[in-house]
Amino acid sequence: MILVALRKNQKNRYGSVLAKEVDCTYSHAVKILQEMEKAKLVTFEKHGRIKTIALTNEGNKIAEYIEKIEEALK
């Protein structure tokens, strides 16, 4: 659901905001995001003390597929 949340709002996002949107703890969201970074689905950019998260092209494709699956199940 983190990938879908990132896709819905294309601008770079913060981990704490994403955690609230998908209703999980910040630490759990960070752990998932780190795994997604290893899989090259998201990228992290550091701006001073703030770290933003953006989808890669591959992450965007997967988020799109997840959205299509959700639609099909409704």
Cα torsion for 14, 18, 20, 21, to the nearest 10°?
Answer: 140
Domain count, the chain: 1
Mean pLDDT value across residues 14-35: 92
In total, the chain counts a number of residues equal to 74
* Confidence grade of residue 14 (pLDDT, cut at 50, 70, 90): confident
Six-digit token string for 54? 């953006």
Which residue range forms the structural domain that includes residue 19? 2-73
Q: 14 or 38: whose pLDDT is higher?
A: 38
Q: pLDDT tens digits for 34-68?
A: 999 999 999 999 889 888 999 999 999 999 999 99
Helices marked H in the chain — which ranges? 2-8, 15-21, 26-38, 57-73
pLDDT band at 12 (very low <50, low <70, confident <90, very high): low
pTM of the model: 0.84
What is the separation of C-alpha 53 from the centre of its chain, rounded to a whole number of angstroms? 7
Domain CATH number, residue 34: 1.10.10.10
